[in-house]
Chains A and B, each alone.
Chain A
Amino acid sequence: MSKISRWRQAGAAWLLLAAAACSTTGGDGAELPLSDRPLVGKFVWHDLITDDVAAVRRFYGGVLGWQFENGTHPLGGDYTLIVAGGQYLGGIVNLDDTEQVDYSRWVPYLSVEDVDAAVAMTVSAGGAAVVEPLDLGAIGRAAAVTDPQGAVLGLLRSRVGDPVDSAAGLPGGVVWNELLAADDVRAADFYGALAGLETVAISRRGGEYTMLRAGGIERAGILQRPDDRVTPQWLTHFAVADVAAAARRAAGLGGEVLLPPAPDLREGTLAVVADPTGAVFALQEMTQ
């Protein structure tokens, strides 16, 4: 083999290796396998807004076993990436609270065909744009809104593909997103139109629940809020092997267990928790 040929082969191998590494992995080996095209109707990313990044890293690391990477926001600035089971799950955004206002919350991002059109539709239906549509470099275009009932969510149109569905029940991973709606019927109409989701009302446990499906896959659910004083919101569910043990860990690490597991509450598989900065989420026990 000539020297030139060896040079070319080495160069090609290096290039392929770099390209492969770039598309699926980060610096510490975490992965984010992406689909060929956006998975419209799926919640594809989850950001935690908080005023104390160090505190929530300790909390979620202890409760859900997450790892973290210090990253850079697509538009610049600090951004902590969350890794669960070797896969990127979301990020942590630092946003200082004011004296009167607490902003800490989870924001799930829904994949839509057209972010600008989705924001316009939301506003015309009575919602509001919280963050106007903007380009996120090579990633795509995103915005954040409050829906017509006041629930906060993000909208995303990816240029690189959306995270593919991972194995169900991956510990620490997102297994469900559920809207606690002020009016579940109106909410179903809205989300059906927003992201082309099929809405299917089902009866279970003596009540009604609405499934949101895309391409035959159940992507999220809508529940009439359990109490009229609860603010309408999207509740993200994270998988745990033992919900009672996870809830105990949460309480021990400075969280507040708003709704402890109980036999009459989805067969004892659910707990609702606020992290030390006030962001609310659900622990969902998954059986293997």
Chain B
Amino acid sequence: MRTQRNRRRAFTRKLSLVLLIAVTLMLGGCNANVGVGMSVGVPIGNNGYMSVGTGRWF
């Protein structure tokens, strides 16, 4: 009887450890679950003429 209880406790502990590891891994991955963040290196062009054609902003 006692052996069976000990086995059950050991199983529960192992299960808890597995759950804890799973949760840790999930939370660890969360911070990287948003965003793109690629280095898009294209020189900016000429924006200075935006104000020239104000009559064409339909």
- Residue among B33, B40, B56 making CB contact with A207, cutoff 8 Å: B56
- Verify A142–B45 contact, CB threshold 8 A: no
A201 to chain B, nearest CB (A): 11
Taking CB atoms and an 8 Å cut-off, the chain B residues in 30-46 that contact chain A are 30-46
Contact (A45, B58) CB under 8 Å given A102-B44, A230-B46:
no
A272 to B45, CA, bound (A): 15
CA distance A142 to B39 in the complex (A): 12
Stretch at the interface among A53-61, A168-176, A259-267: A259-267
A95 close to B22 (CB less than 8 A): no
Instruction: Tell me if A224 and B36 are in contact (CB < 8 A).
Output: no
> Which residues of B lie under 8 Å from residue A95 when comparing CB positions?
39-41
CA distance A243 to B6 in the complex (A): 70
Whether the pair B58, A209 counts as a contact (CB closer than 8 A) is yes
**How many A residues face the partner with a CB closer than 8 A?**
80
Is B30's CB under 8 angstroms from A109's CB? no
Interface of A is mostly: mixed
A265 to B50, CA, bound (A): 12
24-50 of chain A: CB within 8 A of chain B: 26-27, 32, 45, 47, 49
A45 near B19 (CB under 8 angstroms)? no
> Which residue of A22, A47, A278 contacts B30 across the interface (Cβ within 8 Å)?
A22
A residues in contact with B49, CB < 8 Å:
226-227, 229-230
Select A18's contact among B27, B33, B42, B55, beta carbons within 8 Å. B27
CB contacts (< 8 Å) of B53 on chain A: these are 225-227, 230
A47: chain B residues at CB < 8 Å are 35-38, 40
Are B39 and A26 touching (Cβ within 8 A)?
no
Which residues of A sit under 8 angstroms from B52, Cβ to Cβ? 226-227, 229-230
Q: How far is the CA of A205 from the CA of B58 in the complex (A)?
A: 5
Instruction: Name the 10 nearest CB pairs between A and B, nearest first.
Output: A231-B45, A226-B53, A207-B58, A227-B53, A229-B49, A227-B52, A227-B49, A73-B37, A226-B56, A22-B30
- Which residues of B come within 8 Å of A, CB atoms? 8, 12, 15-16, 19, 22-23, 26-27, 29-58
